């Protein structure tokens, strides 16, 4: 999803009454896309492997900022009883991977309500913006 040379080439605006601009139920890659949401979230990850590269995720300023999150993951991760090792589970399980992405607004960048958690966070400060690299993965 996306596909322009730059994130500003394709802009997706989420309507105010929507839960999210995009919802992911299986493996997908989002690249060079700007997503703007006023309330709710930009990207809702329910399951699968989601890769986000070179995007701008922006929650508009609002008095109800505590309801806005650029990324929400409700995935539960792998059932370790089904896999013999944690390594296999990590390869096959639910995950969000973010690289070279700007995140603006919202209460916090990521809200998780399943068993996945924020890991391996890196932030680079440029003159005009912050660029994030992180994973939302099974512990």
H, E, C per residue of the chain: CECCCCHHHCEEEECCCCCEEEEECCCEEEECCEEEECCCEEEEECCCEEEEECCEEEECCCCCHHHCEEEEECCCCCCHHHCCCHHHHHHHCCEEEEEEEEEECCCCCEEECCCEEEEEEEEEECCCCEEEEEEEEEC
Residue 88: what pLDDT? 54
> What are the residue ranges spanned by the domains of the chain?
7-138
Do residues 69 and 106 lie in contact, with contact meaning Cβ atoms separated by under 8 Å?
A: yes
pLDDT tens per residue, range 9-27 = 889 998 877 889 999 999 9
44-71: average pLDDT: 87
Residue 66: what pLDDT? 67
Q: Residue 137 pLDDT more than 80?
A: yes
User: What's the chain's Rg over C-alpha atoms?
Assistant: 15
88-116: average pLDDT: 84
Percent of the chain topping pLDDT 70:
84
**CA–centroid distance for 41 within its chain:** 9
- Under the banding of pLDDT at 50, 70 and 90, the label for residue 38 is confident
pLDDT tens per residue, range 49-58 = 999 999 999 9
Mean of the per-residue pLDDT values for the chain?
85
pLDDT tens per residue, range 69-101 = 899 999 986 665 555 555 555 556 899 999 999
Residue 8: what pLDDT? 84
């Amino acid at each position: 999803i996306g596909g322009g040379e730059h994130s500003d080439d394709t802009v997706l605006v989420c309507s105010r009454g929507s839960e999210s601009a995009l919802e992911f139920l299986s493996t997908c890659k989002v690249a060079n896309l700007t997503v703007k949401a006023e309330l709710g979230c930009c990207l809702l990850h329910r399951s699968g492997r989601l890769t986000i590269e070179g995007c701008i995720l922006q929650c508009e300023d609002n008095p109800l900022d505590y309801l806005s999150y650029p990324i929400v993951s409700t995935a539960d991760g792998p059932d370790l009883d089904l896999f013999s090792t944690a390594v296999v589970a990590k390869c096959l399980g639910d995950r969000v991977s973010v690289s070279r992405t700007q995140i603006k607004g919202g209460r916090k960048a990521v809200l998780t309500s399943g068993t996945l958690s924020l890991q391996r966070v890196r932030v680079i400060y440029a003159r005009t913006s912050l660029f994030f690299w992180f994973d939302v993965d099974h512990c």
